[in-house]
Chains A and B, each alone.
Chain A
Amino acid sequence: MSQRLTAADVAKVARLARLNVSPEEVERYTRQLDGMLDHFADIDSLELANVEPMTQPYPLVNVLRPDVEQPCLDRDEVLSVAPAAEDGRFRVPPSGGLHE
């Protein structure tokens, strides 16, 4: 069976998804995802060139609420359940250390 995806693919996907994965996990996910993609090849037999993609089941367009002020979430309540907050805002560590 030819491999549909490699360990390098999986490591790259993990970086894109902001997941630290161990070498053991890369090995396991590569095997499992490869098996799934193999099963998913069943749709390759379908003629799809002229089929319109379906993104949602009940198409509603330009859904807007009335332009009237509404109460919003309470800021103190929202920040009280945040991992870290300061001066009415979420506190995060400095950016930098980019993965890619």
Chain B
Amino acid sequence: MSDFGTVASIAADVASGRASARAILEQHLVRIDTREGEVHAFNLVMRERALESAAEIDDRVKRGDNPGRLAGVPVALKDNMCTRGVDTTCSSRILEGWKPPYDATAVKKLAAEGAVFIGKTNLDEFAMGSSTENSAFGPTRNPLDTSRVPGGSSGGSAAAVAAGFAAGSLGSDTGGSIRQPAALCGLVGVKPTYGLVSRYGLVAFASSLDQIGPFTHTVEDAAILTEVIAGHDPMDSTSIPQPAPDLVGVLGAGVKGLRIGRVADLPKGADPDVLARLDAAFDALAEAGATIVDVRLPSLSFALTAYYLIAPAEASSNLARYDGVRYGKRVAAGDINTMYADTRESGFGDEVKRRIMLGTYALSAGYYDAYYGKALKVRRLIADDFARAYADADVILTPTSPSVAFRFGSKTDDPLAMYLCDIFTIPTNLAGHPAMSVPFGTGQDGMPVGVQVLAPTLGEATMFRAAAELERAV
């Protein structure tokens, strides 16, 4: 945890009049002025708009109106979420300067509860990466050690909370892009069940995998933000027609009687310091009354392949819309095909092009069955493995990231080495399940280690119970 205010404490202080939204905002702006130069969490700091929102919240409190559950809470938004009239770049040159004509549903829901948007955060271009080194606007640094990456792709959202620039933030998680940076920056990070949070207004990367979720310092804060952004949205045809779950109410329930799964055939690759913390997490939950059971997930080691065929295939299709016609960059040319190709060549960065090529190849005539078709079948095997495991276990614990935060440049020349950062997080996205990373002590060089709590579809309440117990034990 940290010395910065929590979402819960700030909202309570502002709603009761103990603190003004403006004073809270100014504390955060001072921290941004002091450290943003070295951290580079933001693509845009929304200073003026934030001051206006804070004034509005303070007026509401003065009038005696309900200021909302997030009254005056400074929140940062990953820069792949549409904010009406405010630049939304996905950290790509191809969208530089684009101001969306509408707000994402998750953004609207936060605003309706009185959140104050403090800025749009940096990411790996179009959320493709695990270190935020792939941003067209330069990397974000880990506030805990600026020689290291914050993780990715939601590295800016993680860094903003870890540095005290925002009390909470939203990221998006396609293969671990919330959980891995949360682990590397010592935060709580949640990937909800696919369909629990609307994707309307989230710029699409891989539509069957993408999900929005929060970064916070505490499990309670994560529960609050998840409750606020969850719920059915008619604007997203994959949105689950159910109301938001009660998560804050279960945090004190403990883990007595819960069955905690330990993956007996966990894929290799995690560092010893990370595995030691995972062992300690099992001990803590057993101590608190849970039963540890062994589960097997034999297809898990094939998840990386399935993911790196499915996600690029979906991305190659989704990113076809960046053609210089309706929004973003255009490179002028005498005919439309040259305009498309020149625009895309100059607008996309190296990793984005690599994934578009990989995805286009996996979908192309003659290779579809061998790659994309096969990957979809492996995805089924993984989901079936989880279904069997959850017959014996209520939640499963694994590492979040195979290592603590690594140093800049250490994986940039080898795309496959970077992809291996996601080995423990991508199975959840393939299955569509919820999972969250909880800080659980430190590993090598005193850097934070995250433990990942996984649960079956719509198992958020049980997942949060286990996470709250880990937080109490650390």
Contact = CB atoms under 8 A, between A and B. Distances in A.
Interface string A7-26: 00110011011111100010
A51 B379 CA distance: 10
Interface in A25-63: 25, 29, 32-33, 35-37, 39-40, 42-43, 46, 48, 51-58, 60, 63
A90 B339 CA distance: 14
A22 B238 CA distance: 39
Chain B's interface size range is 35 or more
B334 A29 contact: no
Contact of B361 (A13, A90, A96): A13
A48 B336 contact: no
Contact of A97 (B334, B345, B348, B378): B334
A43 B305 contact: yes
A58 B148 CA distance: 37
Interface string A60-100: 10010110000001100110011110000010111111110
B309 A40 contact: yes
B376 to A, nearest CB: 4
B305 A40 contact: yes
Contact of B337 (A16, A46, A97): A97
Nearest to B419: A36
A48 B101 CA distance: 45
B interface majority secondary structure? helix
B415 to A, nearest CB: 6
24 contacts: A13-B357, A13-B360, A17-B344, A18-B320, A29-B357, A33-B361, A36-B415, A40-B305, A40-B371, A48-B377, A51-B381, A54-B376, A54-B377, A54-B380, A57-B383, A57-B432, A57-B457, A58-B457, A82-B326, A83-B328, A83-B330, A90-B326, A93-B334, A94-B335
Interface of B: 98-102, 193-195, 208, 234, 237-238, 240-241, 299, 301-302, 304-306, 308-309, 316, 320, 323-330, 332-342, 344-345, 348, 353-354, 356-358, 360-361, 364, 371, 373-381, 383, 415-416, 430-433, 457
